[in-house]
Amino acid sequence: MNRSHNLTIAVSKGRILTEALPLLTELGIRPVEAPEQTRKLILETAKPGIKLVVVRATDVPTYVEYGAADLGIAGKDVLLEYGGKGLYEPVDLKIARCKMVLAGPKKEAKLNRRLRVATKYIKTTRDYFASRGEQVEIIKLYGSMELAPLLGLADRIVDLIDTGNTLKANGLVPLELITWISSRLIVNTAAMKMKHELIKPIINQLEQLCK
């Protein structure tokens, strides 16, 4: 089949994929093989000409912006950090919800230096503090953010939380809400023009499902 009549949808692994599959199934875009039972990263679906590509969350916008995928499903946290220009973000799918917070110990220590903030969300954190007119030292970490204040690496962290139990277990509390996070449908700008007749119905159906 000609690629102009095909659609490729990039979806992040894990929770987003799990919560996106019921929505996609409503559209007839059901993987022929169960993702959890195969090692394949490209999945054919019950809808002819549409396939799913399972990638790391942070890679979804890259695949879509550069046209390797026509559409994608990614968390708003990833999109804020990515900041690409070759993407439309037409639908909030309202799945994989959580919030991005500034967190730290309950008692604030007096500092004679800039506040140190540990996070993997460098751009978002910098933009957040810049909007408040504050300059902070940002330390990039890839995981176990809660350790940073406990071991004196940082004074605060910026991270995603769901229940907040992990923060509490490590003696930290949410101090400020930065933004609510959910997963979004994103579309390659060129594909939106070239494959409008294929993509627009998907957008319309998802808008109805996610009202």
Tell me, yes or no, whether 89 and 106 share the same domain: no
Tell me, yes or no, whether 9 and 65 share the same domain: yes
Query: Domain of 176?
Result: 98-181
Q: Average pLDDT over the chain, rounded to whole?
A: 93
pLDDT tens figures, 13-49: 899 999 999 999 999 999 999 888 888 899 999 999 9
Which stretch of DSSP H or E encloses residue 20?
helix 15-26
CATH code for the domain in which residue 174 is found: 3.40.190.10
**pLDDT score of 3:** 59
Asked whether the predicted pLDDT for residue 161 surpasses 70, the reply is: yes
Provide the pLDDT confidence category of residue 183 given band limits of 50, 70 and 90.
Answer: very high
Tell me, yes or no, whether 173 and 187 share the same domain: no
Tell me, yes or no, whether 51 and 123 share the same domain: no
**pLDDT score of 8:** 97
Which of 194, 175, 177 is CA-nearest to residue 7? 194
> How many alpha carbons fall within 13 Å on the CB side of residue 164?
14
pTM attached to this predicted model: 0.90
Tell me, yes or no, whether 172 and 191 share the same domain: no
Six-digit token string for 174:
């949410």
Six-digit token string for 115:
């506040």
What is the domain count for the chain? 2
Residue 63 pairs in a beta bridge with none
Note the residue count of the chain: 211
Strand 42-44: give its sheet, edge to edge. Answer: 42-44, 50-55, 7-12, 71-75, 183-188, 87-92
Tell me, yes or no, whether 18 and 77 share the same domain: yes
State which amino acid sits at residue 161: I
